[in-house]
Amino acid sequence: MSFEKFLFYVFAAILVFAAVMVITRKNPVHSALFLVLAFFNSAGLWMLAEAEFLAIALVLVYVGAVMVLFLFVVMMLDINIAELRAGFVRNAPVAILVAIAMVIELVIVVGPQRFGLDEVAAPAAKPAGYSNTEELGLALFTQHLYAFEIAAVILLVGIVAAIGLTMRRRPDTKSQDPSRQVTVKAKDRLRVIKMDAEEKA
Amino acid sequence: MLETYLPVLIFIVIGTAVGAAMIGLGFALSPNRPDSEKNSPYECGFEAFEDSRMKFDVRYYLVAILFIIFDLEIAFLFPWAVVLDQIGMVGFWAMMIFLGILVVGFIYEWKKGALEWE
Amino acid sequence: MDAVIALWTELPVVIQIVMKIVAIMLPLMLLVAYYTYAERKIIGYMQVRMGPNRVGFFGMRLWGLGQPIADAVKLMFKEIIIPTGASKTLFLIAPMLTIGPALAAWAVFPFDAGLVLADVNAGLLYILAMTSLGVYGVIIAGWASNSKYAFLGSIRSAAQIISYEIAMGFALVGVLVAAGSLNLGDIVNAQQGSVFHWFWLPLLPLFLVYFISGVAETNRAPFDVAEGESEIVAGFHVEYSGMTFAVFFLAEYANMILISALSALMFMGGWLSPLPQNWVDGVFLLDDGFQWLLLKTFAFMFLFLWFRATFPRYRYDQIMRLGWKVFIPITIVWIVVVSVMRVAEMPWWFN
């Protein structure tokens, strides 16, 4: 067994293990961290497939950015686990049906008949000077320009949607505005009333 | 190409192992005499109350989401910068349009006050 | 000599690599130790104090040079306290996740022409990916500690780190446009010529943004609200003691050295000599070489300390405003400027 093959099995084994842990851990934070581990090992697998840029970009974008958001969300939202589990038994039959349907579909689409070296040839080992980034850039900015611009629009939609969903004016913040504080005049705050002295009855 | 990444992999493993070894060394050498006062979470002189993992301002989520979007933008810019000499004016203008669309988004979030932290 | 070389080539590749890694890591650790000493000494003198001057070797004081060693030994023998209610495993994994990427980033760093452990093509991308992992240690430490101070510190710190990472990434894209390669060695070679060919001049705004973002990214003063001794005691590592604290501390200083070294490499010509090439060709110590890289790195490392001694701490809203509303627009504009220069083939800067 060559060293690359050995590495492949190590990465793949950890990946499968991490993926199982993601869906079986009770604590959502642990699940999210196992997902990070899973991404790391997929990056290793992509690297073995000679996709240098994509492997590092996976770490950069998914591990470095997307999972940070996931962690923010699962750590800081009080997710009541007991409440989530309450419906488990009731929903189980439907869930099992959906799961079986998904498995069958997956096997049809990406079943074992589509794998193996006769279906997908192993990438040829590239020389040391080979730049994956360059090749990707050449393809992206010549053949796939249209898709690239669409990506920009999708990201724009993402920005707008994120702001629309999360921006809330919070009336209860106690922040100060110094410029307003210093421009306050006495007559804005204080009213002097003249009235006759009252006599004791 | 793969052989140039072997040292990187080994370095990542060793780097993490160094951290683990130092902590292990700390456990091996240091005393361990826990008591309930020593192990209680830090507070200013009173008993800790409530769960310390609380909800916080939604603004932090917004920062994280915007970060993802800009990070993706950077991921697109990297291959573009490498092949800028080879893709000519078409590639150059393609990226300018891309940046332009995202600058529109950036202006939108600025105007909406998503970047305000009072 | 030949026998030594023969013996070296006989060794298995993995052993060779491990020995090279040790050759990088040991001096780095020593530098980190003495960086802490330099910090205390330099800030001491800036504030008209002596700084540490007692601990020496063999009964001699030697200006306190034994201080970092004594500190390390002390931390080793300090009890590691794991607070009640903390998630024990994550509590201990957090420091490892902080130091792992801080050290691993050095794998692709070239120390001299051709002197690099892993000469990968996507070097710059790898460095950016590794620095983006530093935020995990912070988040996990804050969450696992089960302490309000740690938690608040970690959220603040995480939001700050990711905000400045964008500015940093854009600044790197500028370098990339100017150099036309992701390989760090090629980036230095693209700066050849004279001091005015180094990227600090054509990329001046990006250079400033990069270094300042680096300071913010490592949570150093004046961007140290995450630590903020006077409000949230020590931020995300308030519950850490003994060696677990020491690992965080080491990672912070290793990151500072990394940022300094990268600034020197990408904007200050790395190992290139600032003197004109025909003067120094072949002259010992003045010709291009590792010593110049070291000197430039030390200069940036000194800036970190100088900032800390000089600037008062920023307020949190000011930090976020600087990152999002100042740095990001500057970097986007300058990327466009640099790429126009590149496409228009401005002759002087990009040879």
Q: Does B30 touch chain C (CB under 8 A)?
A: yes
C135 and A68: CB-CB below 8 Å?
yes
ipTM: 0.88
Tell me the C-alpha distance between C140 and A79, whole Å.
18
Contacts of C278 (CB under 8 A, 6+ apart): none
The residue among C10, A156, A103, C42 whose CA lies nearest residue B101 is A156
Tell me the C-alpha distance between A147 and A120, whole Å.
25
Tell me the C-alpha distance between B25 and B34, whole Å.
18
Q: Does A130 touch chain B (CB under 8 A)?
A: yes
Query: Residue C16: is it exposed, middle or buried by C-beta count within 10 angstroms (0-12/13-18/19+)?
Result: middle
A147-161, B45-59, C28-42, C91-105: least confidently modelled range: B45-59
pLDDT of residue C235: 74
Helix axes A28-48, A3-24, angle to 10 degrees: 160
Whether C314 shows a pLDDT value over 70: the answer reads yes
pLDDT of residue C118: 83
A134 and B83: CB-CB below 8 Å?
yes
3 state SS of A102: helix
Mutate: best of C88, C90, C93, C133, partner A, most A CBs <10 A: C133
Mean pLDDT of C50-72: 83
Burial C192-229 (b: 16+ CB within 10 A, else e): ebeeebbbbebbebbbebbbbbbbbbbbbbbbbbbbbe
Mean pLDDT of chain C: 85
Question: Which chains would you list as touching C if contact means 3+ CB atom pairs under 8 Å?
Answer: A, B
Confidence of residue B118 (pLDDT cuts 50, 70, 90): low
Residues 11-50 in A contacting B (C-alpha not used; CB under 8 Å): 44, 47-48, 50
Residues 35-94 in B contacting C (C-alpha not used; CB under 8 Å): 36, 38-43, 48, 52-54, 56, 60, 63-64, 67, 70-71, 74, 77-78, 81-82, 84-85, 89, 92
Residues 158-177 in A contacting B (C-alpha not used; CB under 8 Å): 158-160, 162-163, 166-168, 173, 175, 177
Give Rg (Cα) of chain A: 29
Q: Which two tokens stand for residue B83?
A: 């092949």
pLDDT of residue C211: 93
pLDDT of residue C303: 92
Mean pLDDT of chain B: 83
C119 and A63: CB-CB below 8 Å?
no
pLDDT of residue C61: 78
Residue in A with minimal Cα distance to B108: A160
B32 touches A54 (CB < 8 A): no
B18 and C25: CB-CB below 8 Å?
yes
Going from the C-alpha of C256 to that of each of A181, C35, C220, C237, C240, the distances in angstroms are: 41, 10, 9, 18, 21
Whether C351 shows a pLDDT value over 60: the answer reads no
Please provide the distance, in angstroms rounded to a whole number, between the alpha carbons at the two ends of chain A: 110
Residues 13-52 in B contacting A (C-alpha not used; CB under 8 Å): 51
pLDDT of residue C155: 83
The residue among A14, A50, A52 whose CA lies nearest residue A34 is A14
Tell me the C-alpha distance between C267 and A132, whole Å.
25
pLDDT of residue B55: 67
Query: Residue A158: is it exposed, middle or buried by C-beta count within 10 angstroms (0-12/13-18/19+)?
Result: middle
Question: Which chains would you list as touching B if contact means 3+ CB atom pairs under 8 Å?
Answer: A, C
Backbone angles phi, psi at C248, to 5 degrees: -60, -45
pLDDT of residue B50: 62
A57 touches B75 (CB < 8 A): yes
Confidence of residue C141 (pLDDT cuts 50, 70, 90): confident
Going from the C-alpha of A17 to that of each of A10, A38, A188, B117, C53, the distances in angstroms are: 11, 8, 68, 42, 53
Backbone angles phi, psi at C115, to 5 degrees: -95, 85
Going from the C-alpha of C250 to that of each of B13, C79, C95, C218, C224, the distances in angstroms are: 17, 18, 10, 12, 17
Whether B42 shows a pLDDT value over 80: the answer reads no
pLDDT, block means (10 residues), chain A with 201 residues:
84 94 85 91 89 89 88 72 70 89 88 72 70 84 88 90 78 72 83 84 71
The residue among A161, A168, A158 whose CA lies nearest residue A65 is A158
Residue in C with minimal Cα distance to A30: C90
Residue in C with minimal Cα distance to B95: C336
Distance from CA of A105 to the nearest CA of B (A): 31
C321 and B60: CB-CB below 8 Å?
no
Confidence of residue C182 (pLDDT cuts 50, 70, 90): confident
The residue ranking higher by pLDDT, B91 or A128, is B91
C148 and B41: CB-CB below 8 Å?
yes
C177 touches B81 (CB < 8 A): yes
The residue among C331, C269, C258 whose CA lies nearest residue C300 is C258
Mean pLDDT of C269-293: 80
Q: Does B103 touch chain C (CB under 8 A)?
A: yes
Helix axes A67-76, C148-179, angle to 10 degrees: 170
pLDDT of residue C239: 80
B25 touches C76 (CB < 8 A): yes
Residue A64 has its nearest CB partner, among C120, C129, C155, at C129
Mean pLDDT of C149-177: 87
Confidence of residue C258 (pLDDT cuts 50, 70, 90): very high
Whether C299 shows a pLDDT value over 80: the answer reads yes
Distance from CA of B101 to the nearest CA of C (A): 12
3 state SS of C112: strand
Whether C298 shows a pLDDT value over 90: the answer reads yes
The residue ranking higher by pLDDT, A123 or C202, is C202
Complete DSSP assignment for C57-92: BTTB-GGGTTHHHHHHHHHHTS-----TTS-HHHHH
B102 touches A152 (CB < 8 A): yes
A103-107, A180-184, B64-68, C330-334: least confidently modelled range: A180-184
C166 and B71: CB-CB below 8 Å?
yes
pTM exceeding 0.90: no
The residue ranking higher by pLDDT, C288 or A21, is A21
The residue ranking higher by pLDDT, C239 or C93, is C93
* Chain C residues close to B15, C-beta within 8 Å: 25, 99-104
Q: Does A139 touch chain B (CB under 8 A)?
A: no
- Please list the alpha-helical segments (H only) found in B1-58: 2-29, 36-39
Tell me the C-alpha distance between A60 and A65, whole Å.
7
Mean pLDDT of C130-145: 86
Backbone angles phi, psi at A104, to 5 degrees: -60, -45
Q: Token match 């500690």: residue?
A: C145
User: Percentage of residues in chain C with pLDDT exceeding 70?
Assistant: 96
Residues 85-124 in A contacting B (C-alpha not used; CB under 8 Å): none
pLDDT of residue C349: 59
Q: Give the torsion sign (CA, C280, C283, C288, C293).
A: negative
A61 and B66: CB-CB below 8 Å?
no
Query: Residue A143: is it exposed, middle or buried by C-beta count within 10 angstroms (0-12/13-18/19+)?
Result: exposed
Tell me the C-alpha distance between B13 and C159, whole Å.
28
A52 and C182: CB-CB below 8 Å?
no
pLDDT of residue C306: 92
Task: Please state whether the peptide bond connecting residue C27 to the residue before it is cis, i.e. omega within 30 degrees of 0.
Answer: no
3 state SS of C115: strand
B2 touches A47 (CB < 8 A): yes
Q: Does B101 touch chain C (CB under 8 A)?
A: no
B40 touches C84 (CB < 8 A): yes
